[in-house]
Amino acid sequence: MPIELKIPTVGESITEVQISEWLKSEGDSVKQDEPVAIIDSEKTTFELPAPLAGKLTKILHQAGETVAVGAVVAHLEADGETGKSKPDEKQTPAKSEAKGTHESGTKTEKPETVGKPQPKKDKPAEPKNDDSIGDGEKKATPVKAREEPISAPETKTKTPDAKPSPPIANQKSLSDREEEVVPMTMLRHTVARRLVEARQTMAMVTTFNEVDMSSVQTLRKSLKEEFEKCYQVKLGLMSFFVKAAIDALKQFPQLNAEIRGNDIVYRNYFDIGVAIATERGLAVPVLRNAERLGFADLEKAIGDFSGRAKDGRLKPDELEGGTFTITNGGVFGSLFSTPIINPPQTGILGMHTIQERPAAVDGQVVVRPMMYLALTYDHRLVDGREAVMFLSRVKKAIETPARMLIEV
201-228 pLDDT per residue, tens: 999 999 999 999 999 999 999 999 999 9
379 carries an active-site annotation: yes
Least-confidence region, from 117-131, 217-231, 312-326: 117-131
Rounding to the nearest 10 degrees, give the CA dihedral for residues 335, 336, 340, 342. Answer: 40
H/E element holding 140? Answer: helix 140-147
Radius of gyration of the chain (CA): 34
Task: State which amino acid sits at residue 230.
Answer: C
pLDDT digit string (tens) for 269-296?
A: 999 999 998 877 788 999 999 999 999 9
- Measured CA to CA in angstroms, residue 335 lies from 208, 231, 287, 328 at distances of 12, 32, 26, 11
- Tell me what pLDDT residue 389 has: 98
Q: Does the structure show a pLDDT above 90 at 122?
A: no
Number of H helices, E strands in the chain: 10, 19
Portion of the chain with pLDDT greater than 90, in percent: 56
Least-confidence region, from 140-144, 246-250, 317-321, 394-398: 140-144
Q: Does the structure show a pLDDT above 50 at 349?
A: yes
- For range 318-332, the mean pLDDT: 93
- Tell me what pLDDT residue 127 has: 45
Higher pLDDT, 56 or 165: 56
Task: State which amino acid sits at residue 153.
Answer: P
Q: Does the structure show a pLDDT above 70 at 129?
A: no
Secondary structure class of 345 (helix, strand, coil) = coil
Instruction: Pick the catalytic residue from 102, 122, 131, 379.
Output: 379
Q: Are strands 272-274 and 324-328 parallel, antiparallel or unpaired?
A: parallel
pLDDT digit string (tens) for 35-65?
A: 999 888 887 788 899 999 999 999 999 998 8
- Tell me what pLDDT residue 385 has: 97
pLDDT digit string (tens) for 68-111?
A: 999 999 999 988 654 444 444 444 444 444 444 444 444 444 44
Instruction: Pick the catalytic residue from 122, 131, 311, 383.
Output: 383
383 carries an active-site annotation: yes
Task: State which amino acid sits at residue 68.
Answer: A
Cα of first residue to Cα of last residue in the chain, in angstroms, is 68
pLDDT digit string (tens) for 222-250?
A: 999 999 999 999 999 999 999 999 999 99
Domain extents for the chain?
Answer: 1-116, 120-183, 204-406
- For range 142-147, the mean pLDDT: 43
Q: Does the structure show a pLDDT above 70 at 167?
A: no
Per the prediction, the chain carries an average pLDDT of 81
- Tell me what pLDDT residue 347 has: 97
- Tell me what pLDDT residue 171 has: 52
Query: Topology of domain 1-116, per CATH?
Result: OB fold (Dihydrolipoamide Acetyltransferase, E2P) (2.40.50)
Higher pLDDT, 188 or 201: 201
Q: Does the structure show a pLDDT above 60 at 114?
A: no
Q: Is 124 exposed, middle or buried, given 0-12, 13-18 or 19+ CB atoms closer than 10 A?
A: middle
- Tell me what pLDDT residue 408 has: 61
Secondary structure class of 309 (helix, strand, coil) = helix
Higher pLDDT, 314 or 170: 314
CATH value of 204-406 in 3.30.559.10, 3.30.70.360, 3.30.70.260, 2.60.40.10: 3.30.559.10
Higher pLDDT, 139 or 317: 317
Q: Does the structure show a pLDDT above 50 at 32?
A: yes
Q: Does the structure show a pLDDT above 50 at 264?
A: yes
pLDDT band at 153 (very low <50, low <70, confident <90, very high): very low
Q: Does the structure show a pLDDT above 70 at 157?
A: no
- For range 321-344, the mean pLDDT: 93
- Residue among 69, 65, 56, 71 at smallest CA distance from 18: 65
